Amino acid sequence: MSLLMCDQLTMAFGGLQVLRGLSFAVEPGQIVALIGPNGAGKTTALNLISGLGRPTSGAIRLEGRSIAGLAPAAISQLGVARNFQSLRLFLNMSVLENMTAVGYRRARTNTLQAVLWTPAFRRDAALWRARAEELLGLFGSRLGPHRYDQPAYSLSYANRRRLEIARALMTRPKLLLLDEPAAGMNPHETDELAALIAALPRRFGLAILLIEHDMGLVERVADQVIVLDHGAAIAVGSFAEVTADHQVIAAYLGQSARAAPDEPPEEEAP
Residues contributing to the site for other proteins (CB under 8 A): 50-52, 71-73, 76-77, 81-82, 84, 88-93, 97-98, 100-107, 111, 114-115, 117, 139-142, 144, 146-147, 150-151, 153-156, 159, 167-168, 170-171, 192, 195-196
Least spacing, CB of residue 174 vs other proteins, in Å = 13
Give me the least distance between CB of 39 and other proteins, in Å please. 22
Nearer to other proteins, 191 or 245 (CB): 191
d(CA 228, CA 231): 6
CB of 40 or CB of 177, closer to other proteins: 177
E strand or H helix at 171: none
Edge-to-edge strand ranges of the sheet holding 65-66:
16-26, 4-13, 57-62, 65-66
42 or 167: CB nearest other proteins? 167
- Closer to other proteins by Cβ: residue 29 or 144: 144
Tell me how far the alpha carbon of residue 93 is from its chain's centroid: 22
Alpha helices, H only, 7-118? 42-49, 72-77, 95-100, 111-116
Partners of 235 in beta bridges: 227
Whichever of 79 and 237 has its CB closer to other proteins, that residue is: 79
Min CB(100)–other proteins separation in Å = 6
Alpha-carbon distance of 219 to 145, in angstroms, equals: 33
Which residues face 25 on adjacent strands? 5
Cα first-last separation, the chain: 35
Least distance in Å: CB of 32 to other proteins? 20
Contact call for residues 77 and 22 (beta carbons, < 8 A): no
DSSP of 54-84: --SEEEEEETTEE-TT--HHHHHHTTEEE--
Q: Among 210, 146, 147, 138, which residue's Cα sits nearest to residue 179?
A: 210
Which of 9/170 has CB closer to other proteins?
A: 170
Rounded to a whole number of angstroms, the minimum distance from the CB of residue 223 to other proteins is: 21
Q: Smaller CB distance to other proteins: residue 93 or 257?
A: 93
* Smallest gap from residue 237 Cβ to other proteins (A): 29
Least distance from other proteins to the Cβ atom of residue 107, Å: 6
